[in-house]
Amino acid sequence: MRTIRDIRDSLPDDQRRHFDAELADTAIEALPEMLHRWVALSNDGFEEFLLSRPFEGMEFGARSYDEQPDAE
């Protein structure tokens, strides 16, 4: 990404509002750090990972020791 517009366009709509608000309140000296953080957020792939449904078909909440036969 080479421009602020590139960063902004790569974000989902809900994050774009947060980006705009933070950008408006960020001091010029802190701008590189702020932009670097948002570039990392927009490129981390976490949202795509979740949308790919990596846990489909898995059951959660059971523990291996829950299925032990009664000791009585």
More confident position, 14 or 55: 14
Q: In the prediction, which pLDDT does 25 show?
A: 94
DSSP state of 70: P
The residue among 16, 18, 12 whose CA lies nearest residue 50 is: 12
The residue among 12, 15, 10, 18 whose CA lies nearest residue 51 is: 12
- Report the half-sphere exposure of 64 (CA within 13 A, side-chain side): 0
pTM over 0.85: no
- pLDDT tens digits, residue range 3-50? 899 888 888 888 899 999 999 999 999 999 999 888 887 776 666 666
